[in-house]
Amino acid sequence: MKTGKALSFFLASRYQSEKRKSGFTNFVSASSIWGIGLGVAVMIVGLSVMNGFEKELKNRWLDMIPHVEFRAVDVPIRNWQQKVRQLEADHTVLRAAPAITLNGMLQQGAGFKPLQITGIDAIDNHAIALEKYLSPDVSHTLTGNQIILGSQLAQDLHVDKGDTLVVLVAQTNQNFSTPKMVEFQIAGTFNIGGLLDHSAAFISLVKAQEIRGLKPGEVTSLQLKIKDVFAAPQVSRMLGMNLQEYVYMLDWQRLHGHIYNDIQMVRFIIYLALSLVIAVACFNIVSTLVMIVREKQSDIAILKTMGIHHRVINQTFVFYGLRNGLLGTCWGGIVGILLAIYLPDMMHWIESTFHLEFLDGSVYFIGFIPSDFQPMDAVVTVLIALVISFLATMYPSRTVLKIDPAVVLGQK
């Protein structure tokens, strides 16, 4: 068996090294190698980009939004300190904190900009990691009428630390009352990237209670950061049922889950589309082998008359086709891995050199092309390419069984 495989490999290598008369056969053979390599490289890069988006979603976007939120329906949540201790006692919760959400409007020239203001108890003890994205000169204590704005919002308004803003804050009374005008002093900015930088702001919990007319100990929501972000729907239902207040049980997948679902859908499309690209490239292996079998009919007939088993001849053309698949997979895998690792730096260089912007931070939750290479993606991609290449050799290699030595040699 080992001798037969060695002979098959030797014959396949010899046929590969021969100079064929047909230039078209050489072209089809080369196109199969380049097509497979291109498909493998693009698939590795595409999957790495999707991994990068998912990583940024977890580490950046989910840092700045609560994983789970219990929002009061009719009356505010009272005695929030006790509720926070109750929630943090659960093993699924990393941190719980009170919050008061206000909707406001900022005047910019002749127009207005919407603003979502969140009252928080402390910057460094909250369900969101605000302290990681603050500008260096910002104090971690909010007092009085201080406000922290998103960096892009401050840039649009042409304001800086120490400036004063007047915000129209909507009232939540059932009667249609006029908005309350509240004056704030800018304590600093935060920069996370994306829409939050254009529309979010933070003030102290005490100031938010004053604006809403709430008593000490009353808040409008409790926000949670949990251990397993993908278990947020189950955690919100489980913990929400234990609260005595009538609350909306919200989680990030319900409010912002479309972003994660879009990433997973694009990942599936990449797998499907580029697997088909590799499959199309592998059809060139079929064409190449069919033409080689026709060219080598006399050699095959002689081998059969010498008593060489048909399995050895069959394996010869399998090895011949797999060589093309292996060459394409190898160069595509190497190029794809290098591109996936250095893609963010390359895209940054292209953007800075040619003054381009591939992702608009005001539209997407990040403003750059991320990439996170995972070795398992490369392994799966290589296996897909090799399996398709192997399947492509099945039909042409079996056509040698139909060659009749008497007919072929008789024509010579």
Beta bridge mates, 188? 148
Does pLDDT of 173 surpass 60?
no
**pLDDT score for 57:** 83
Does pLDDT of 316 surpass 90?
no
Summarize the confidence of residues 37-48 as an average pLDDT: 94
**pLDDT score for 291:** 83
Domain residue ranges in the chain: 2-59+260-411, 75-245
DSSP 337-404: HHHHHHHHHHHHHHHHHHT--SS-TTTSS-SS------HHHHHHHHHHHHHHHHHHHHHHHHGGGG--
Residues 316, 377 contacting (CB under 8 angstroms): no
**pLDDT score for 109:** 61
Q: Calculate Rg over the CA atoms of the chain.
A: 32
Q: For residue 91, give Cα distances in angstroms to 86, 221, 239.
A: 11, 21, 11
Evaluated on CA atoms 164, 170, 171, 172, the torsion sign reads negative
- Can you give the length of the chain in residues? 412
Does pLDDT of 174 surpass 60?
no
What's the pTM?
0.80
Residues 66, 224 contacting (CB under 8 angstroms): yes
CB-count burial class (<10 Å; 0-12, 13-18, 19+) for 246 = exposed
Instruction: Give the lowest-confidence range in 3-17, 184-198, 278-292.
Output: 3-17
**pLDDT score for 175:** 53
Average pLDDT, the chain: 85
